[in-house]
Structure 1
Amino acid sequence: MDQQQYPRSSRTDRKTIEKNRRNQMKVLYSELNSLLPHQRSRVVTSLPDQIDEAVNYIKKLQTNLERLKQKKDRQTGVERIINDNNGAYGSGLHGGRLRSPQIEIREMGSALDVVLITGLDFQFMFEGSIRMLIQEGADIVNASFSVVENTIFHSIHSKINDCAPGTVAARISERLRKFVNEANATGF
């Protein structure tokens, strides 16, 4: 008689365990569904459809997050710049400095924004860039820098006072790029 009761008790335990598992899954599905934005329709969707909706929503959020990170990087001038040699990112450090300074120049009408990313050994480039802008007749509106570990992010906002700002901006861009390239070539 003991042998017959043991299987019956075991079967009941398995049923209870399975019932508890299903109830827990329902609670989790319900919680997941409550986190999703819902349309105003009152159509009841099946569980697989709810899971598909959650997966698609999460993918959409990931895509939006990546797009916003890129936008933020573009606006702050901290875009990842690929090195010419090995495809490594420009943030890779060598001996406490960037392997090569990077410059980005943006012209917007009479405004000229310069973003310069250097290592600690290239601090002189900030002052040299400002001097060059002034020599070319640009008015410095704002100049700042931030240090993150062994990298310096320089930002210079200037205004070109000329009847042909595009020509002046092109000349300034050429001089600044040459300045950075010469610093890269000499290592200082």
Structure 2
Amino acid sequence: MFPFQRSCELSFKISDEGDQNEQTNNEDQITLDNNAFVGLNNDSNNANPGRGRGRGRGRGRILSSSSLAGTSSNTNTNNDEHERKIIHREYERQRRQEMATLYNSLRSNLPPEYIQGKRSISDHVEEAINYIKHLKSNVKELEEKKDQLKQSVESTSSTSEFSGSSNSAGVVGSVVIRQSMVGLQIDISVGYEDEGFSLSSALQVVNDEGLEVVSCTSTKFNDKLIHNLQCQVRNTISIDVNRLQQRLSDLVS
């Protein structure tokens, strides 16, 4: 009886140990399977990196959407800067055109002797300054001549008239000297048929007295022929109006 019981007991113990070993093996197998599953997942993630990035990519898209406002602001700033550059270039182009027009106008008003052989703008501007100084000097000299003529004319009668002998037609010759804008105005009146008067001789007398004839016109009025002489002072010398009138009067007498 005892051996049999021992045998059963032994058998039971062996069986129990076997169950424990089997359970241990099952647990080990489960552990290995879990590790293998984890390894497979890792390999799968490594083999398909797109899966791991999918979620990050979605987040990236969300971040990009949130930064659209900043990107739009930068774009508007760049557009404004570009527009300012275009406006500045257009302003500079118009300014250069205006300066070129003014420069051409200045050059066209200068005498040829002032710009001959000079091509640079600075040279032309300098010559323009010299020309302006020259004009101012001429104006000053003309004003002095005008004052001298005014004093000479005022010393005599402003409408001093000399009456010569009458010709065959009964017309009396006369000489009238007045002050004018350019200098002196000389009116010589003679008979229309008076052959004793020579206009060329009168012009020579005027030239000898230091006057330059600017214009000469002759007009017939009734039986008279009136010669109008516009004269200006050729030199800075003072003009003796009395002597001039006397010499012209001798020609019409």
* TM-score > 0.5, shorter chain as reference: no
| Structure ranking higher in helix proportion | 2
Q: TM-score, normalised by structure 1?
A: 0.40
| Structure ranking higher in strand proportion | 1
Q: TM-score, normalised by structure 2?
A: 0.31
